[in-house]
Structure 1
Amino acid sequence: MKRFLLLGMFPVMVLAAGGPHDVVVKQGSATLTHADVDTVIRRLPEAERAKTMGDPKTLERTLNNMLLARQLADEARANGLDKDPAFIAEMRWLTEEKLAAARSEQISREIEQSVPDMQALAKEKYMADKAAFATKEVRDVRHILIGTKDGRSDAEAEALARKIHAEAVAAPDKFIDLVKANSDDPSKTQNDGAMPDATSPQFDPTFAGAVRKLAKVGDISEPVKTPWGYHIIKLERLSPARQRSFDEVKDGLVTDLRETYLKERKREYMDKLRNNKIEAEPETIGALRSRYDGKMPDAPAESARQP
Structure 2
Amino acid sequence: MKRWCTVVLALVNAISAQALAQPLVWRGDTVITLEELDARLNRLPDGERATYTRDTSNIARLLDQLLVNRALAEEARELGLDKDPEVQKDIQFAVEELLAIHRLNLLLRDDAMPDFGALAEEQFLADSGKWDSPESLAVQHVLIRVGERLDDDAAEIAREVLDKARSGTNFDKLVEQYSDDPSKLENKGRFVIVDDTRFDPAFVAGARALVNDGDVGEPVRSAYGYHIIKLIRRSEARKAQFSDVRSSIERDLRNQYRENARKDYLRMLRSRMGAEEGNEELLMSLPVRYGGRPEIEQGVR
Q: Does TM-score exceed 0.5, indicating one fold?
A: yes
* Distance in 1 of aligned mates of 2:184 and 2:90: 57
Matched, 1:45 2:38: yes
Of 105, 108, 111, 2:105 maps to 108
2:98 is the counterpart of 1:98: no
For 1:265, the equivalent position in structure 2 comes to 261
2:141 alignment partner in structure 1: 143
Return 5+ residue gaps in structure 1 as ranges: 1-12, 17-39, 50-57, 297-307
Q: Equivalents in 1 of 2:138, 2:191: separation in Å?
A: 4
1:231 shift after superposition: 1.4
Output one character per residue of 1:167-201: Cα deviation in whole Å (capped at 9) or x when no partner. Answer: 479x4645739936983426698699642314556
Compute the displacement of 1:133 (Å).
1.5
Pick which of 239-248 and 185-194 moved more: 185-194
Q: Distance in 1 between matches of 2:224 and 2:183?
A: 15
Task: List per-residue Cα deviations over 1:199-241 (Å, max 9, x = no partner).
Answer: 5565434312332233333444343222321112222211112
User: Structure 1: which amino acid aligns with 2:133?
Assistant: T
Q: 1:233 aligns with which of 213, 229, 236?
A: 229
- Secondary structure of the equivalent of 2:205? helix
Distance in 1 (alpha carbons) for counterparts of 2:102 and 2:35: 14
Residue in 1 aligned with 2:15?
A: none
Q: Rate the CA distance shift 1:294–1:97 in 2: closer, same or farther, 3 A.
A: closer
* % same residue: 24
Structure-to-structure mapping, 1:1-307, within 5 angstroms: 44-46=37-39, 69=77, 72=80, 76=83, 87=86, 91=88, 94-95=91-92, 98-99=95-96, 101-112=98-109, 113-148=111-146, 152-158=149-155, 160=156, 163-164=159-160, 167=163, 171=166, 173-174=168-169, 176=171, 179=174, 183-185=178-180, 194-199=189-194, 203-275=199-271, 277-278=274-275, 280=277, 284-285=279-280, 288-293=283-288
Judged with a 3 Å threshold, the aligned counterparts in structure 2 of structure 1 residues 173 and 71 are, in CA distance, closer, same or farther, namely closer
**Deviations 1:77-99 (Å, cap 9, x if unpaired)?**
xxxx65xxxx4xx7457546634
- Provide closer, same or farther for how the CA distance between residues 42 and 148 of structure 1 changes in structure 2, counting only shifts above 3 A: closer
CA spacing shift, 1:265–1:44, aligned 2, 3 Å: same
Contact 1:164/1:178 (CA < 8 Å) preserved in 2? no
Find the aligned partners of 2:89 and 2:265 in 1 and give their Cα distance. Answer: 25
CA distance in 1, matches of 2:78, 2:164: 73
Alpha-carbon contact 2:121-2:246 (below 8 Å) kept: yes
Output the CA distance in 1 between the equivalents of 2:176 and 2:264.
Answer: 62
Compute the displacement of 1:141 (Å).
2.0
**TM-score, length-scaled by structure 2:** 0.57
RMSD of the TM alignment (CA)? 4.8
Q: 1:128 to 1:153 in 2, by over 3 A?
A: same
Q: 1: CA distance between counterparts of 2:228 and 2:259?
A: 50
Aligned-partner residue type, residue 105 of structure 2: S
How many pairs were matched up? 234
TM-score, normalising length from structure 1? 0.56
Letter in 2 for 1:254: E
Q: In 2, Cα distance between the equivalents of 1:269 and 1:253? A: 24
Q: 1:149 to 1:114 in 2, by over 3 A?
A: closer
CA contact (8 A) 1:134 1:243 kept: yes
Deviation at 1:73, TM superposition (A): 7.3
Name the CA distance, whole Å, in 2 between partners of 1:166 and 1:98: 64
Letter in 2 for 1:69: R
Q: Which has the higher helix share?
A: 2
Greater Cα shift, 231-240 or 139-148: 139-148
Residue pair 1:217, 1:238 contacting (<8 A) in 2 also: yes
Gaps of 5+ in 2: 1-17, 22-32, 43-65, 292-301
Structure 1 residues 132 and 295, CA gap change in structure 2 (3 angstroms): closer
Match of 1:293, SS state, is: helix
Does the C-alpha gap of structure 1 residues 269 and 212 become closer, same or farther in structure 2, counting only changes over 3 Å? same
Name the SS for the 1:139 alignment partner.
strand
AA partner of residue 39 (structure 2): E
Aligned to 1:302: none
Of stretches 246-255 and 173-182 in structure 1, the one that deviates more from structure 2 is 173-182
